[in-house]
């Protein structure tokens, strides 16, 4: 079953002056439970593709269907709601809410989803335990290491039980140990809970862990390999 | 509760900036409160002095008197003696016979404002007995002379003053009266010219037995002036009298106060404008430095309306905090000056008196002064808060994430 169906996606910047095709006629399907890495050099269009799949950016041409919903047809408010319920995001710079503790960050989306307190607490505890960050629950992001922050970010993305998680270069700011630890956790979540992950990366360690690797060059799919 | 918690924590993310912004708001409130307290205190004092010494809150005259303040336009005191006044509404009602005369002592002569009054009632209205700086209060045959006039004529208690004037219906009025006491008035104009003597003595001097020029009423609640004025209208018409309130009798006082008030208001508005730019600067920084964060929040599913709500709470909290600082700082000071008005002495006092003002700056503790400043600052902040609201409304996620 396809969670994501992207058909003939095109993203053109400056269409009226000097057009730049960041993504050029890309079509791809992502199935439930995949652990996919979108790789390519800087400026190849990885992040743009990820943004369009995640409903953060709109394609110039083509369409994106997530879990049967054509997201380009949704208005901004509907799209925001759709992202909250269906897509988990992990960013390169962790992007936790600085004034909230680790636990509050994890519970934040569940609060927006109006999930009751008991369910929120048990879900956040479960995730913190799986991520190995239980002892940091009361600390704010500024008191956490980069690796810990990114694990909190993954837990936050998983908290709302999304259809898939989009991670834009999640290991770019991490050292080797933190990277390996994070990748192990994500791989475990993928295997044990069948969570779908889509990464954009040029980190070889992430590529090595991925079960499917889609290579993008100059906005086009150059190769699509399943291991 | 979530938004309240987030807003509270957000305003303390940058403590230094929060303190600076709140302090600037607090300073504006402090300055505005202090200035307005001083202005309103002075106005209240001016009105109170004028009402007590000149007109009363309401005054009953012969119909033509206020147009032409002649002794001949006085009326028989017996007309108002039958008037039954509600003691809960009217504090005191005072008969007065007021006219002018030339006052002479040795080779000095000066125009004087002669006030024939009931010594007991007058003391209740003007606290005249408390204005004595020498001698004793009216006992029956003597006069009380204002200090400025006494100094000009070089007289003191025990000396005899000669008055010359035109009396009621053109009779010659002349008499000599011992000076029983010297009065010091807060109103410079009175201090230079006023003479007080018992009403029967004044009536005898002017040849106006049983005649008064005004019957002044002091209200317990000045808010009820219009109501009482209306209730007395019928009685006045029947007796060919008129009832006027102090605003009708002293329009120039009201206009002077209004002009001064609006002048002060312009100063305060300039201050608000300066502080407003400071607040806007903070809001601009708050918005600009958090564009990326807002982008993340929208990405993960927080609606812009909720972010706007959270930022609006931050603005409200910051403003409220600043206003509170200003009020906390200004209240003790205005309270102190309310109880201990600033009194000028020496040349400064003379300069004030030369301009016709009392050499004192009283303060007001009217609650309106305090909450009106808070409300004004709040409105300014909410108005300036439109900018961050619009910035969030027009936020482009991808652009924000690239900040």
What's the gap in Å between the CA of B27 and the closest CA on chain A? 29
Geometric angle at alpha carbon B175, from B174 and B178, rounded to 5°:
155
CB neighbourhood size of B200 (10 A) = 14
The pLDDT tens digits of the residues spanning A44-101 come to: 888 899 999 999 888 999 999 998 899 888 888 899 999 999 999 888 877 888 889 9
Mean pLDDT computed over B213-228: 87
Q: How far apart are CA B32 and CA B14, in angstroms?
A: 27
Instruction: State pLDDT tens for residues B156-190.
Output: 999 999 999 999 998 899 999 999 999 998 778 88
User: How far off is chain B from A87, nearest CA to CA, in Å?
Assistant: 8
Q: What is residue B240's predicted lDDT score, i.e. its pLDDT?
A: 87
Chain B environment of A154 (Cβ under 8 Å): none
In a domain, B56, yes or no: no
Chain B residue with minimum CA distance to A78: B303
| Nearest chain B CA: its distance from A46 CA (Å) | 14
**B301–A83 C-beta distance less than 8 A:** yes
Are B208 and B277 part of one and the same domain? no
**Residues A84, A86, A91, A94: what is their CA dihedral angle, to the nearest 10 degrees?**
60
> How far apart are alpha carbons A207 and B129 in whole angstroms?
101
Instruction: Give phi and psi for B104, each to the nearest 5.
Output: -130, 145
Domain annotation covers residue B57: no
Average pLDDT over residues A151-178: 86
Tell me the per-residue pLDDT of B115-126, one tens digit each, with 9 for 90 and over. Answer: 999 999 988 888
CATH number of the domain at A31, please.
Answer: 3.40.50.300
- Token pair recorded at residue B281: 């600067």
A 10 A CB-CB count for A176 gives 9
Q: Which residue has 């000066």 as its token pair?
A: B110
What residues of chain B lie within 8 A of the CB of A81, using their CB?
301, 303
Range of the domain at B125: 64-239
Residue B373 has pLDDT above 90, yes or no: no
The dihedral through the CA atoms of B272, B278, B284, B285 has a sign that is negative
Residue B160 in domain: yes
Interfacial residues of A (vs B; Cβ cutoff 8 Å): 51, 54, 56-57, 76-77, 80-81, 83-85, 89, 91, 95, 97-100, 108-109, 111-112, 156-157, 160
Distance CA A119, CA B401 (A): 31
Contacts of B304 (CB under 8 A, 6+ apart): A76, A80, B298, B392, B393, B395
Closest chain B C-alpha to A206 CA, distance in angstroms: 23
User: Are both B202 and B325 inside the same structural domain?
Assistant: no
User: Which pLDDT does position A172 carry in this prediction?
Assistant: 81
Task: Look at residues B239, B270, B293 and tell me which one is the last residue of a structural domain.
Answer: B239
Q: Is the pLDDT of residue A158 over 90?
A: no
pLDDT score, position A16: 82
Domain encompassing residue A216: 2-226
Pairing type for strands A87-90 and A69-70 reads unpaired
Across A162-179, average pLDDT: 85
| Phi/psi at A166 (5° precision) | -105, 125
Residues of A in contact with B304 (CB under 8 A): 76, 80
Tokens of B180: 């029983």
Please tell me whether residue B347 adopts helix, strand or coil conformation.
helix
Overall domain count for chain A: 1
> Residue B135 domain-assigned?
yes
Residues B184 and B277 in one domain: no
Strands B75-76 and B90-105: unpaired
Do residues B308 and B198 share a domain?
no
Q: Are A152 and A96 in contact (CB under 8 A)?
A: yes
pLDDT of B98 strictly over 90: yes
Q: How many domains does chain B have?
A: 2
Helices (H) and strands (E) in chain A, counts: 7, 10
Residue B83 Cα to chain centre, angstroms: 31
Q: Residue A72 has what DSSP assignment?
A: G
Residues B304 and B202 in one domain: no
pLDDT given for residue A189 in this prediction: 85
- Residues B83, B223, single domain; the answer is yes
Provide the pLDDT confidence category of residue B357 given band limits of 50, 70 and 90: low
Tell me if B397 and A95 make a contact (CB, 8 A cut-off). Answer: no
Q: Hey, is A9 helix, strand or coil?
A: strand
Distance from CA of B9 to the nearest CA of A (A): 6
Taking one residue from A and the other from B, the number of pairs with CB-CB distance under 8 angstroms is 51
Find how far residue A36's CA is from the centre of its chain. Answer: 11
- Beta carbons of B306 and A98 less than 8 Å apart: no
ipTM above 0.90, yes or no: no
Using CA atoms, how far apart are residues A93 and A153, in angstroms rounded to an integer?
A: 10
The CB density around residue B198, as the number of other CB atoms within 10 Å, is 20
Q: Is B300–A98 a contact, with Cβ atoms under 8 angstroms apart?
A: no
Domain closes at, from B195, B215, B239: B239
Residue B270 neighbours by CB under 8 Å, 6+ apart: none
With respect to residue B348, please indicate whether it lies within any of the assigned structural domains. yes
Q: What is the pLDDT of residues B272-301, one digit of tens each?
A: 888 888 888 888 888 888 888 899 899 988
Q: Do A156 and B300 touch (CB under 8 A)?
A: yes
What are residue A28's phi and psi, to 5 degrees? -160, 155
Nearest CA in chain B to A48: B398
Q: Please check the confidence at residue B101 and state whether its pLDDT lies above 60.
A: yes
B227 in the same domain as B81: yes
Taking CB atoms and an 8 Å limit, are B301 and A51 in contact across chains? no
Q: Are residues B81 and B229 in the same domain?
A: yes
Contact A89 B300 (CB under 8 A): yes
Q: Quote the tokens at residue B359.
A: 């050499």
Token couple for A182: 């994070």
User: How many Cβ atoms are within 10 Å of B214's Cβ, its own excluded?
Assistant: 25
User: In which element (H, E) is residue A11 found?
Assistant: strand A2-13
Report the pLDDT value the prediction gives residue B356, as an integer from 0 to 100. 57
Average pLDDT of the segment spanning B83-103? 86
> Pick from B10, B293, B303: which is nearest to A80 by CB?
B303
By three-state DSSP, how is residue B139 classified?
coil
Partner-chain residue, chosen from A51, A98, A112, that has the shortest CB–CB distance to B301 = A112
Residues in chain B closer than 8 A to A80 (CB atoms): 298, 301-304
Is residue B287 one of the residues assigned to a domain? yes
CB contact under 8 A, A99 and B9: yes
Residues B215, B69, single domain; the answer is: yes
Q: Quick one: what percent of chain B has pLDDT higher than 90?
A: 38
Contact B60, B96 (CB under 8 A): no
Mean pLDDT of B383-395: 91
pLDDT at B145: 96
Query: Mind giving me the DSSP string for B83-99?
Result: ----TTTEEEEEEEEEE
Residues of B in contact with A83 (CB under 8 A): 299-301
Average pLDDT value for residue range B54-78: 88
Residue with the two structure tokens 């809150």: B57
Rounded Cα gap, residues B397 and B403, in angstroms: 10
Are B232 and B260 part of one and the same domain? Answer: no
Residues B115 and B225 reside in one and the same domain: yes
pLDDT digits (tens, 9 = 90+) for A181-208: 888 888 888 888 888 999 898 888 888 8
- Check whether residue B311 and residue B211 sit in a common domain: no
For residue B401, which residues of chain A lie inside 8 Å, CB to CB?
56, 91
Picking from A171, A169, A197, A168, the residue whose alpha carbon sits closest to that of residue A182 is: A171
- Residue range B105-123: mean pLDDT, rounded: 93
Q: Which element (helix H / strand E) includes A162?
A: none
Residue B355 confidence (pLDDT): 61
Residue A175's pLDDT band (cuts 50, 70, 90): confident
């Amino acid at each position: 079953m396809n969670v994501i169906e992207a058909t003939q996606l095109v993203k053109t910047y400056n269409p009226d002056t000097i057009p730049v095709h960041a993504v050029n006629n890309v079509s791809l399907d992502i199935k439930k439970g995949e652990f996919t890495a979108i790789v390519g050099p800087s400026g190849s269009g990885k992040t743009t593709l990820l943004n369009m799949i995640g409903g953060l950016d709109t394609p110039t041409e083509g369409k994106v269907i997530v879990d049967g919903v054509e997201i380009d047809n949704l208005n901004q408010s509907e799209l925001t709601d759709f992202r909250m319920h269906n897509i988990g995001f992990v960013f390169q710079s962790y992007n936790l809410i600085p004034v909230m503790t680790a636990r509050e960050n994890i519970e934040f989306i569940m609060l927006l989803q109006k999930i009751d307190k008991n369910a929120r607490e048990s879900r956040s505890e479960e995730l913190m335990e799986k991520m190995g960050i239980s002892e940091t629950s009361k600390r704010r992001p500024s008191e956490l290491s980069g690796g810990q922050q990114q694990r909190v970010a993954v837990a936050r993305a998983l908290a709302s039980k999304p259809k898939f998680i989009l991670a834009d270069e999640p290991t770019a700011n991490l050292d080797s140990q933190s990277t390996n630890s994070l990748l192990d956790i994500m791989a475990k979540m993928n295997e044990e809970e069948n969570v779908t992950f889509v990464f954009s990366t040029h980190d070889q360690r992430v590529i090595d862990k991925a079960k499917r690797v889609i290579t993008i060059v100059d906005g086009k799919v150059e190769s699509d390999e399943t291991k | 509760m979530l938004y309240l918690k987030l807003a509270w924590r957000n305003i303390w993310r940058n403590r230094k900036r929060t303190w600076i912004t709140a302090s600037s708001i607090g300073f504006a409130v402090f300055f505005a409160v202090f200035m307005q307290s001083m202005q309103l205190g002075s106005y209240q004092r001016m009105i109170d002095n004028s009402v007590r010494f000149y007109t009363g809150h309401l005054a009953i005259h012969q119909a033509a008197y206020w147009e032409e303040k002649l002794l001949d336009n006085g009326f028989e005191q017996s007309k108002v003696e039958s008037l039954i006044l509600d003691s809960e509404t009217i504090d005191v009602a005072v008969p007065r016979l007021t006219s002018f005369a030339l006052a002479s002592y040795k080779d000095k002569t000066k125009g004087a404002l002669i006030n024939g009054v009931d010594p007991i009632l007058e003391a209740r209205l003007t606290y005249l007995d408390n204005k004595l700086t020498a001698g004793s209060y009216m006992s029956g045959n003597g006069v009380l002379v204002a200090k400025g006039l006494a100094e000009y004529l070089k007289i003191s208690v025990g000396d005899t003053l000669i008055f010359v004037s035109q009396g009621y219906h053109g009779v010659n009025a002349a008499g000599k009266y011992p000076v029983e006491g010297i009065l010091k008035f807060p109103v410079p104009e009175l201090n230079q010219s006023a003479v007080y003597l018992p009403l029967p003595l004044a009536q005898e001097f002017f040849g106006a037995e049983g005649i008064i020029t005004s019957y002044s009423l002091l209200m317990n609640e000045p808010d009820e002036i219009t109501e009482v004025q209306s209730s007395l209208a019928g009685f006045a018409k029947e007796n060919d009298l008129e009832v006027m309130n102090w605003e009708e009798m002293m329009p120039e006082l009201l206009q002077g106060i209004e002009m001064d008030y609006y002048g002060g208001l312009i100063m305060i508005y300039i201050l608000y404008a300066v502080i407003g730019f400071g607040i806007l600067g903070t809001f601009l920084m708050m918005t600009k430095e958090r564009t990326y964060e807002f982008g993340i929040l929208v990405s993960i599913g927080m609606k812009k309306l909720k972010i706007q709500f959270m930022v609006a709470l931050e603005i409200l909290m910051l403003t409220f905090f600043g206003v509170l600082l200003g009020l906390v700082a200004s209240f003790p000071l205005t309270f102190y000056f309310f109880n201990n008005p600033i009194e000028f002495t020496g040349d400064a006092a003379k300069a004030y008196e030369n301009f016709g003002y009392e050499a004192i700056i009283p303060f007001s503790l009217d609650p309106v002064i305090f909450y009106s400043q808070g409300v004004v600052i709040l409105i300014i902040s909410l108005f300036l808060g439109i900018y961050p609201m619009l910035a969030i409304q027009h936020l482009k996620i991808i652009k924000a994430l690239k900040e």
